[in-house]
Each structure stands twice: as C-alpha cells, then as structure tokens.
Amino acid sequence: MSLACRGVRGAITITANTTEDVLAQTRLMLMSMVVANGIEPADIASIWFTTTPDITAVAPARTARAELGWTYVPMLCTTEMPVDGSLPMCIRALLHWNTAVPQAEIKHIFLGETTKLRPDLAGEMDAILVEAKEIVKDLLKANR
C-alpha cells in the first residue's frame, strides 16, 4: 500500500490561560492523537495549531518541540477567527501524517469540552485518554 499524507484532528479545552495549562493540555491532546493512531514522530509531516482568541499565554507548539522532542516537525500556530457562540479556551491541531492507513480509519481526538463538537466520537475517547495519560506521566518522569 502506498503512503498518503493524512490529516489527524485534535481539539482540547483549557481551564485557565496559563503557560502550564496550555502546555499540559496540548501535551495530552498530542499524545492522545499519537496513541490512538499509532503515529511515529518521524512520520509527522507538519502540525498546524489554532487557538481561540482568549488563549495568549504561550504557543501550543512549544510543548511538541521542548517536551516531546519533535524538533524537526514543521509547526505553525495561529488564532482562529472569532465566531459568535463558539467554544472558548480551545486549542486545535491538524497533524499531517505520512501513512498507509486509509482515511476512514483515522481516529480524530476531541477532549474536554470539545466532545460537544463531536459527540459521535466521545465514547472512543475514554480508553485513548487513559493510555495517553500514562504515556505523558512516563514522559514527564523521564524529563526530570
């Protein structure tokens, strides 16, 4: 099977506009995306992050570079257009992945309040989240 560049969506909300919360929640979202899809960092073509206008503490890409070591992955951070009634305090990612996995089998990740955006996927998130949290815990121990 040939490789294609597939988009993997991720979204998560934060509770406070602080560096710590932005980095922690971004880390959890990214690790959930990796765990759910079996993504190897070397196969990531690029990541595009967006935040709602109320997030200004730090760029989400910092977590991928500094904590996950994704030094050579091209990343872009931008602010989403403000839309009346949209979900506040939201970080989104579009990860471009070089893979042979068919598009219909890609698992998109919606955590926190973003499950309201995709209630059809909410049930799948629980098992993924447990595994991702364990990986994050191990990663943080290794970086100390």
User: Which helix (H) or strand (E) covers residue 11, if one does?
Assistant: strand 4-13
Q: Is 144 within the bounds of a domain?
A: no
- Are 95 and 61 contacting, i.e. CB atoms less than 8 angstroms apart? no
Query: What is the tens place of the pLDDT at every residue in 22-48?
Result: 999 999 999 999 999 999 999 999 999
Q: Is 76 within the bounds of a domain?
A: yes
User: Per the structure block, which two tokens stand in for 81?
Assistant: 């257009």
Distance in angstroms (rounded) separating the CA atoms of residues 28 and 24:
6
Q: Is 8 within the bounds of a domain?
A: yes
CATH number of the domain bearing residue 92: 3.30.1330.40
Q: Is 106 within the bounds of a domain?
A: yes
Q: Is 143 within the bounds of a domain?
A: no
Query: What is the tens place of the pLDDT at every residue in 86-95?
Result: 999 999 999 9
Number of separate domains in the chain = 1
**CA angle, 30 then 82 then 68, to 5°:** 15
Query: What is the tens place of the pLDDT at every residue in 50-81?
Result: 999 999 999 999 999 998 999 999 999 999 99
Distances in Å between the Cα of 110 and the Cα atoms of 28, 63, 71, 85, 144 are 11, 18, 25, 18, 29
- Are 122 and 136 contacting, i.e. CB atoms less than 8 angstroms apart? no
Q: What is the pLDDT of residue 117?
A: 82
CA 55 to chain centre: 15
Q: Is 35 within the bounds of a domain?
A: yes
Q: What is the pLDDT of residue 140?
A: 64
Q: Is 48 within the bounds of a domain?
A: yes
Q: Is 46 within the bounds of a domain?
A: yes
Stretch among 42-46, 95-99, 109-113 having the lowest mean pLDDT:
109-113
The closest alpha carbon to 33, from 24, 22, 41, belongs to: 41
Domain that holds residue 34: 4-138
